[in-house]
Structure 1
Amino acid sequence: MPDTITMINLVWTAMIAVMMTATFTLYQGKSEAPQFNYTQLTGQYNEQPYY
């Protein structure tokens, strides 16, 4: 029977494989460019000298 470390490694690898498969499956139909439905605000930083 495999030792404890080998079993933990197998379970961890299986979990990573399941998560990667789920990620690829969920994002398969998404478009490449994000669609923003809000106005993007811009800001400007003006540095004022202290003296």
Structure 2
Amino acid sequence: MPDKITMINLVWTAMIAVMLTATVTLYQDKSDFGDVNYPQVTGRYNDLSYY
């Protein structure tokens, strides 16, 4: 039977693999950023001389 550290490493690696797979699966359709449904926040900078 593998020791405790090996089991923890295997479980940790499996969790990371599952999370990466879920992320790729969930965000597969949302790769294009041109179709934005919310207004873009813009800012303006005015260069004023105080002297």
User: TM-score normalized by structure 2?
Assistant: 0.67
1:1-51 → structure 2 map (5 Å cutoff):
1-33=1-33, 35-43=35-43
Letter in 1 for 2:5: I
Q: How many residues align?
A: 51
TM-score scaled by structure 1?
A: 0.67
Identity percentage of aligned residues: 74
The 2-side partners of 1:18 and 1:28 are apart by 15
Name structure 2 gaps, 5 residues minimum.
Answer: 47-51
